[in-house]
Amino acid sequence: MSERMTGPNNPMWGVLGWSRGLTAKTDTRISKRAASLKRSWSNPVVRARRSEIMKEVGSRPTLREKARATMLARWAKPGERQRASNVGKAAWARGRKEKVSLEIRRERMRQAHLGKTPWNKGLHGVMRAWNKGLKMPASFREKIRLAWKKNYAAHAAASTAALLRSRRQKRQTGIERKVETTLLRLFPGEWKYVGLGDVIIGRKVPDFINVNGQKKIVEVYGSYWHKKEDAPRRKKIFRRYGYKTLILWDYDLMNDQQLEKKLIAFAREN
């Protein structure tokens, strides 16, 4: 029987079982069928009797042909195969025989929407907030403010820690050493090199800071690492905290006399 009733010779070939996709939770027939089979196969007598029947059917060609004819007659009825294959399927898939391509589905949707007014016609991309016009309770506003404050403090602490780690790996450059030597010679004990992260102002690390009571800073820039627009930005940041800033570029250090004049003039500013 296994040779003649398998593959395309089997009337059930290509037909989905009625219980496909169903579970005991979604269909009571599954649970009833499972309970019935469990009771039947738990009885040794029933098991032995069914085994004898299957052996007899397999050994007698006439019984095999009779079973095959019965199945063919059943599935030859109009709509029987489609009805059995639709059991357990979603409603939208019932009766669907063709495989519709994506292009065909798009065309069908386009035809279905012809003559209809789109829901977003006239909006032109305008975004409207769902809470526009609503008043937020004061307690909720305060809660949001504190949450943002906490997040900002955590972010600022993490950024400062990362900045300090990067500065610890930095070494004093040659032009910074030259400016430090000039400052110590002209103004002994008045300036200190803090370019390794000893002082942080506005999340920025200055190169030299005055330690003699004046809020002044000297920054040393290299043409390779800094841009022209970096100088006014750095001055603006330090100005918020009341510091005056002198920016020295690497080409300013080529003439020692000009360097000394700039430092002396900056130190004499009020």
Condensed to tens digits (0 to 9), the pLDDT of residues 195-253 reads 888 888 888 889 999 999 899 999 999 988 888 888 999 999 999 999 999 999 999 89
Distances (CA, A) of 224 to 4, 227, 251: 85, 8, 11
Question: Do the Cβ atoms of 229 and 205 come closer than 8 Å?
Answer: no
Quick one: which of 210, 212, 214, 217 has its CA closest to 231?
217
Please tell me the distance from the alpha carbon of residue 254 to that of residue 175, in angstroms, as a whole number.
Answer: 10
Given its phi and psi angles, is residue 175 left (phi above 0), alpha (psi -120 to 50 degrees) or beta? alpha
User: Mean pLDDT across the chain, nearest whole number?
Assistant: 79
Q: Give the pair of three-digit tokens for residue 143.
A: 């809660």
pLDDT recorded at residue 119: 72
pLDDT at 63 over 80: no
Other C-beta atoms closer than 10 Å to the C-beta of 191 total 25
pLDDT recorded at residue 52: 82
Q: What is the pLDDT of residues 128-171, one digit of tens each?
A: 666 677 777 888 888 888 988 888 877 777 776 776 666 655 77
Distances (CA, A) of 63 to 1, 70, 183: 10, 11, 114
pLDDT at 22 over 80: no
Directed axis angle between helix 256-268 and helix 174-186, to 10°?
A: 60
pLDDT recorded at residue 49: 84
pLDDT recorded at residue 2: 45
Residues above pLDDT 70, as percent of the chain: 75
- In angstroms and rounded to an integer, the radius of gyration of the C-alpha atoms of the chain is 44
Please tell me the distance from the alpha carbon of residue 266 to that of residue 254, in angstroms, as a whole number.
Answer: 18
Given its phi and psi angles, is residue 125 left (phi above 0), alpha (psi -120 to 50 degrees) or beta? left
Q: Which residues contact 192 (CB under 8 A, 6 or more apart)?
A: 198, 208, 209, 211
Per-residue confidence band for 15, with pLDDT thresholds at 50, 70 and 90: low
Domain residue ranges of the chain, discontinuous segments joined by +: 7-93, 136-169, 174-268
**What's this model's pTM, rounded to 2 decimal places?**
0.42
Q: Which residues contact 7 (CB under 8 A, 6 or more apart)?
A: 13
Question: Do the Cβ atoms of 218 and 183 come closer than 8 Å?
Answer: yes
Mean pLDDT of the region 80-94: 58
Question: Do the Cβ atoms of 101 and 41 come closer than 8 Å?
Answer: no
Residues above pLDDT 90, as percent of the chain: 25
Least confident of 39-43, 185-189, 211-215, 246-250: 39-43
Please tell me the distance from the alpha carbon of residue 207 to that of residue 226, in angstroms, as a whole number.
Answer: 14
More confident residue, 24 or 220: 220
Per-residue confidence band for 101, with pLDDT thresholds at 50, 70 and 90: confident
Q: Could you tell me the strand order of the sheet in which 191-193 lies?
A: 191-193, 208-210, 216-221, 244-249
pLDDT recorded at residue 8: 58
- The CATH class given to the 174-268 domain equals alpha beta
pLDDT at 7 over 80: no
pLDDT recorded at residue 71: 74
Quick one: which of 250, 210, 218 has its CA closest to 235?
218
pLDDT recorded at residue 45: 85
Give 11's DSSP letter: T
